[in-house]
Structure 1
Amino acid sequence: MTGEEVLQDGVHRRVVRIGDTVRRPAQPWTPTVHALLRHLAEVGFDRAPRPLGLDDQGREVLTFIEGDCGPAGWARVADDHGLRAFAHLLRDYHQACAGFAPPSGATWAGDPQERGETAGPDRDPGEPVVCHGDFGPWNVVWRGRRPVGIIDWDFARPAPRLHDIAYALEYTAPFRDDTECLHRLHHPQVPDRRRRLELFCTAYGLDSAAGVPEAVIDRQQDTTELVRRLAAQGRQPQATWVANGYLAELERRTAWSRAHRHLFA
């Protein structure tokens, strides 16, 4: 189609920009995610795309959020200011979605049955939030040093707030070795991981960081099992990841975190 700017062209999806909109392949969970995004707009949370339905090719249509995202996000969260802003954004989103009531028959990605209307074992009934599910630096849109949007909501699903917090901290504390921190994650020096974890938790509003490192390790293990399960169902990109040996990489990361638990407490 004339006027399409390709934003992503991977094995599992082609994402394009047309004017002020983004077009992405619709999924079984798209109606549920759109209900969530409409709720966010209604309560005044302006850092998520607004859903505009489907186009004539059956693709979901979302408003485009101008700014830098993807690989550019790593450098934004390497300093204290960016890390705090990242934590504040997650806190603000969780507050905005707290009153969301999923529609009847809600469908979520990653649920073994793809049904989200009942609480699963990792849903804390005292914290009725829908986690983003993939809250990493690459899925935040930045303008300068200010985060202005959260994108890629495919893995949103009901879960305790700690589900998102632990996932974010894996990448921003980070739970990675020194070489990766310096050469891929844009840290100017070896990070003080314990201080960064505590800084994030304080900025988010947690009373304590106690137990958070263990939650990150548990989340890493959960991610490995989710990728394994989705790949077995033939889902993409997980099936391709597993075929290319990605499970071994996920297991290596979890093993590193367990072996270096002392760096975070």
Structure 2
Amino acid sequence: MTEREPAPGDGEVAGGAEVLQDTPHRRIERVGATVRRPAQPWTPAVRALLRHLETVGFRYAPRALGADAVGRETLGYLAGEAGPAGWARIVPDDGLRAFARLLRDYHRAVADFHPAPDLAWCDGSTGRGPRQLVCHGDFGPWNVVWRGGRPVGLLDWDYARPADPRHDIGYALEYAAPARDDAECLRWLAYPKPPDRRRRIEVFAEAYGLDTTEGLVDAIIDAQERTVALVRQLAAAGHQPQADWLADGHLTELTHRTAWTRAHRHLLE
């Protein structure tokens, strides 16, 4: 749901399994051509989504393979470069366009997916509204798998849920514009100079297929606010890592990001 630095233990090999992520509440391992990760209450809904994407030929999603002997969700492994390295991939215009087109292609693939009414998503919602589709919910550069300079996969579907497609667009643009100050862009996000955020939003919008950028800054702010609300909701229900994020003050950081976007929207539109 939010970008992360590599955790201690990431990439290590233990007992024949490669540890892809090892945090207190989420250990993810690669075993052969599969990935094993803890199941969540909303895993059945995500599994139905991934199987729909496989059926319609959306090749960027991992295959849903059920559960292993200890109840972990089992997915097909997508080889390539992901995680923090993804930030640098969307700095050039070609990478930015590829990022936008991946989201466009996902939205097209999911447009006719109507989840069964008994499937509940991470926010507790069921069904799908008339102007909604099942958004990815966490479409950030760290969740895209890259190979040879092009996207080949899309990871981490835990926050998929029904919403207006502009939620995914606004969420992606927070990181693609990006809605960050110049110092962070230069020091952490691989920009060689301060980004022209307005132009980057135009490039993203054109590649996605939008006719206008009108309303996209509001979409960014709305996505930021909804992220805060979802983290708070999941934390209140005792889910991890959101409960720890709340205890550690991470929501304050997320709220500050929204305030930055509001105060600097002149850089974005």
What is the TM-score when the length of structure 2 is the normalising length?
0.93
* Matched AA of 2:126: G
The answer as to whether partners of 1:105 and 1:115 remain within 8 angstroms in 2 is no
Offset of residue 11 of structure 1: 2.1
Pairs within 5 Å for 1:247-258: 247-258=251-262
Could you list the per-position Cα deviations for residues 78-132 of structure 1 after superposition, in whole angstroms to 9, with x for gaps in the alignment?
11000000000000000001111202301101x2xx241254xxxxx13x42100
Q: 2:75 and 2:251 mapped to 1: Cα distance?
A: 32
Q: 1:118 and 1:142 mapped to 2: Cα distance?
A: 31
Root-mean-square deviation (CA, aligned residues, Å) is 1.1
Unaligned stretches of 5+ in structure 1?
Answer: 120-124
Which residue pairs with 1:104 in the alignment? 117
The answer as to whether partners of 2:125 and 2:161 remain within 8 angstroms in 1 is no
Could you list the per-position Cα deviations for residues 214-251 of structure 1 after superposition, in whole angstroms to 9, with x for gaps in the alignment?
11112111111211222122111111111111111111
Pairs within 5 Å for 1:101-250: 101-109=114-122, 111=123, 114-117=124-127, 119=129, 125-126=130-131, 128-250=132-254
Determine which of 16, 19, 33 is the counterpart of 1:6: 19
Determine which of 7, 22, 29 is the counterpart of 1:16: 29
| Sequence identity percentage | 62
Classify the secondary structure of the residue corresponding to 1:199.
Answer: helix
Unaligned stretches of 5+ in structure 2?
Answer: 1-13
Mean Cα deviation higher: 238-247 or 51-60: 238-247
Q: 2:49 and 2:59 mapped to 1: Cα distance?
A: 13
Which residue pairs with 1:95 in the alignment? 108
Q: 2:31 and 2:144 mapped to 1: Cα distance?
A: 20
Could you list the per-position Cα deviations for residues 118-156 of structure 1 after superposition, in whole angstroms to 9, with x for gaps in the alignment?
54xxxxx13x42100000000000002100000100000
What is the TM-score when the length of structure 1 is the normalising length?
0.94
Which residue pairs with 1:79 in the alignment? 92
- Structure 1 moving runs of 4+ over 3 Å: none
Classify the secondary structure of the residue corresponding to 2:204.
Answer: helix
Q: 2:114 and 2:70 mapped to 1: Cα distance?
A: 29
